[in-house]
Amino acid sequence: MLSAERRTLILQKLAATGSVQVSYLAAELQVDPVTIRRDLHRLESAGYLRRVHGGAILRDSAGASPPPSGLAQRIAAAAARLIPAGSVVFLGPGNFTAEIIPSLGNEKQLTIITNALDVAWRAARTQQHTLYLVGGEVGKDYGIYGQLEQQFNLLVDWVIIEAAGLSAESGLTHDHLRYANLARTLLRQSAKTIVLLPPDRVGQVSALHSAPAEQVDLLITGREASNAPLWDLSEAGVRIVLT
Amino acid sequence: MLSAERRTLILQKLAATGSVQVSYLAAELQVDPVTIRRDLHRLESAGYLRRVHGGAILRDSAGASPPPSGLAQRIAAAAARLIPAGSVVFLGPGNFTAEIIPSLGNEKQLTIITNALDVAWRAARTQQHTLYLVGGEVGKDYGIYGQLEQQFNLLVDWVIIEAAGLSAESGLTHDHLRYANLARTLLRQSAKTIVLLPPDRVGQVSALHSAPAEQVDLLITGREASNAPLWDLSEAGVRIVLT
DNA sequence: GCAATAGCGTGCAATACTGTGCAGAACAGT
DNA sequence: ACTGTTCTGCACAGTATTGCACGCTATTGC
CATH classification of B3-57, choosing from 3.30.530.20, 1.10.10.10, 3.40.50.12780, 1.10.1040.10? 1.10.10.10
Chain A within 8 Å of B136 (Cβ-Cβ)? yes
Q: Do B144 and A133 touch (CB under 8 A)?
A: yes
Q: Which CATH class is domain A70-242?
A: alpha beta
Q: Within a 10 A sphere around the Cβ of A221, how many other Cβ atoms?
A: 26
If one compares A104 and B63, the residue with the highest pLDDT of the two is A104
pLDDT at A61: 60
Of the candidates B19, B53, B64, the beta carbon closest to that of A14 is on B64
Distance from CA of B81 to the nearest CA of A (A): 22
Taking CA atoms, what residue in A is nearest to B52? A4
CATH number of A3-58: 1.10.10.10
**Structure confidence by residue, pLDDT tens digits, B191-237:** 799 999 999 889 988 889 999 999 999 999 999 998 999 999 999 99
Query: With contact defined as beta carbons under 8 Å apart, do A139 and A180 qualify?
Result: no
Q: Are A86 and A47 in contact (CB under 8 A)?
A: no
For the segment A233-243, the average pLDDT, to the nearest whole number, is: 95
pLDDT tens profile A178-237: 999 999 999 987 679 999 999 999 999 999 999 999 999 999 999 999 999 999 999 999
Average the pLDDT over each of A15-19, A81-85, A136-140, B76-80 and give the range with the smallest value: A15-19
* Distance from CA(A56) to C1'(D30), angstroms, rounded: 29
Q: Indicate the range of A38-42, A154-158, B132-136, B234-238 predicted with least confidence.
A: A154-158
Alpha helices of chain B — where are they, by DSSP H?
Answer: 3-17, 22-29, 33-45, 70-82, 95-98, 100-103, 117-126, 148-151, 177-188, 227-235
Q: By CA distance, what is A8's nearest residue in B?
A: B63
Confirm or reject contact between B55 and chain A (CB < 8 A). Answer: yes
State how far the Cα of A121 lies from the Cα of A117, in Å rounded to an integer. Answer: 6
Q: Which of A200-214, B42-56, B132-146 has the highest mean pLDDT?
A: A200-214
Question: What is the least distance, in Å, from the CA of A214 to any CA of chain B?
Answer: 31
Average pLDDT over residues A96-114: 91
Whole-angstrom distance between the N-terminal and C-terminal Cα of chain A?
Answer: 36
Beta-carbon separation of A118 and B121 below 8 A = yes
pLDDT tens-digit profile of B223-235? 999 899 999 999 9
Q: What is the pLDDT of residue A70?
A: 79
CB-based contacts of B133, cutoff 8 Å, min separation 6: A117, A133, A135, A136, A137, A138, A144, B113, B114, B115, B117, B120, B144
- CA–chain centroid gap for B223, Å, is 19
Mean pLDDT, chain A, rounded, equals 91
pLDDT digits (tens, 9 = 90+) for B51-86: 999 999 987 655 556 777 888 999 999 999 999 999
User: Does residue B55 lie within 7 Å of nucleic acid chain C, judged by its CB?
Assistant: yes
Domain ranges of chain A: 3-58, 70-242
Q: What is the pLDDT of residue A33?
A: 96
Q: Is the pLDDT confidence value at B36 over 70?
A: yes
Predicted pLDDT at A63: 45
Q: What is the CA B59 to C1' D9 distance in angstroms?
A: 29
Q: How confident is the model at residue A154 (pLDDT cuts 50, 70, 90)?
A: low
Identify nearest nucleotide to residue A34 by CA to C1′ distance. Answer: D19
Residues of chain A with pLDDT > 90: what percent? 77
pTM: 0.82
